[in-house]
Amino acid sequence: MARKQIYFEDIEVGAEVPPLEKDPTTQQLVKYAGASGDFYQIHYDKDFALKNNLPGVILHGALKNAFLGQLMTDFAGELGWLRKLSVQYRGMDQPGSKVVCKGRVVKKYVDGANHMVDCEIWLENAKGEKTTPGSATVILPVRGA
Amino acid sequence: MANKYVTEEARKQIGKVGEARTIEIDRWAIRRFADAIGDSNPLFNDEKEARKTRFGGMIAPPTFGRALSAGPPDIKLDMPAFRGLDGGSDWEYFQPIRPGDRITVQTRIADLRESEGRLGPMVFITTETTYTNQFGEVCAIQRSTGIRY
Contacts of B67 in chain A (CB under 8 A): 35-37
CB nearest to B61's CB, from A3, A73, A84? A73
Q: What is the pTM of this model?
A: 0.95
Q: What is the DSSP letter of B94?
A: -
The CA–CA distances, whole Å, from A128 to A14, A25, B149 equal 19, 19, 28
- The percentage of chain A sitting over the pLDDT mark of 90, rounded to a whole number, equals 93
CA distance B41 to A121: 20
Q: What was the ipTM of the complex prediction?
A: 0.95
B66 vs A84: CB contact, 8 Å cut-off? no
CA distance B86 to A79: 32
Tens digits of residue pLDDT in B47-73: 999 999 999 999 999 999 999 976 778
Position with higher pLDDT, B135 vs B77: B135
If you average pLDDT over residues B88-115, what whole number do you get? 96
- The percentage of chain A sitting over the pLDDT mark of 70, rounded to a whole number, equals 97
Contacts of B92 in chain A (CB under 8 A): 83-84
Between 3.30.460.20, 3.10.129.10, 3.90.1150.10, 3.30.200.20, what CATH number should domain B8-25+70-148 receive? 3.10.129.10
- Map out the domains of chain A as residue ranges: 10-139
SS3 A34: helix
Best interface-test mutation with A: which of B40, B89, B141 has the largest number of A CBs within 10 A?
B89
Strands A16-22 and B21-24: unpaired
CATH architecture of A10-139: Roll (3.10)
Residue A57 has pLDDT above 70, yes or no: yes
Confidence of residue A1 (pLDDT cuts 50, 70, 90): very low
For residues A65, A71, A74, A76, the Cα torsion angle rounded to the nearest 10 degrees is -90
Phi-psi region of A83 (alpha: psi -120 to 50; beta: other; left: phi over 0): alpha
Contacts of A31 in chain B (CB under 8 A): 35-36
- Map out the domains of chain B as residue ranges: 8-25+70-148
Contacts of A1 (CB under 8 A, 6+ apart): A78, B42, B49, B52, B53
Tens digits of residue pLDDT in A75-102: 999 999 999 999 999 999 999 999 999 9
